[in-house]
Structure 1
């Protein structure tokens, strides 16, 4: 069972060397998620995307070189596209703070 806490997300992001796109998108999603003003359906979409990222048993296993994170990136981008109207500048600032902690 994947660790679905903030610590679990940070641990997963630290384990993705050289995957700046994945870490930036995941941090932005988390920043929107933790905002109290974010609508529940938006949070549900974010949780689904982040669970997919954290879960080691996804469509393309992460250990496959060159392809392992392709499906994860697609899911993160789809989630961001779905919620883009709800992403504000302070979410980008918070995502940068999260990335600095990595």
Structure 2
């Protein structure tokens, strides 16, 4: 059905692409917060990840400021990759295809969250501890 968009979104695809993320990519993801937020909030499939997106951006921000350092690079790269993938309108399944365009974005975000779930929990625990201080 998808023809030229046949590339499979799976854990291996996401892991492979995450390993290609560089520090500059994290900067681009950070600088694109408004666009990513808008895309997540305006697509029915991704909207349920709106609050998680805010947490992920918070982690990136605190990591970049050097106030939260107990996070592996793989987690930072996974967040950056997921955001950059969501931003790309011509990814594996182009976003302009009605009803299908965000399925691959959802897959990348879902697999990415599987990899970093415990790190997000650790970050939220850290955030709560440091808000009380």
Asked if Structure 1 and Structure 2 have the same fold, meaning a TM-score greater than 0.5 normalized by the shorter chain, the answer is: yes
Please give the TM-score of this superposition, normalised by the length of structure 1: 0.68
2:42 to 7, 17, 20: 17
Please give the TM-score of this superposition, normalised by the length of structure 2: 0.55
Q: Within 5 A, what are the aligned runs for 1:15-94?
A: 15=39, 16-19=41-44, 20-35=47-62, 36-37=68-69, 38-88=71-121, 91=124
Larger Rg: 2
Higher deviation after alignment, 46-55 or 17-26: 17-26
What is the rounded CA distance, in whole Å, between the counterparts of 2:113 and 2:124 in structure 1?
A: 12
**Larger helix fraction of residues:** 2
Q: Which runs of 5+ in 1 are unaligned?
A: 95-102
User: What's the CA shift string for 1:3-43, capped at 9, x where partnerless?
Assistant: 92435231243245253124344333323323322221210
Q: Which runs of 5+ in 2 are unaligned?
A: 1-26, 63-67, 128-133
| Structure with larger RCO (C-alpha < 8 A, sep 6+) | 1
Query: What is the root-mean-square deviation of aligned Cα atoms in Å?
Result: 2.7
Number of positions where the alignment pairs a residue of Structure 1 with one of Structure 2: 91
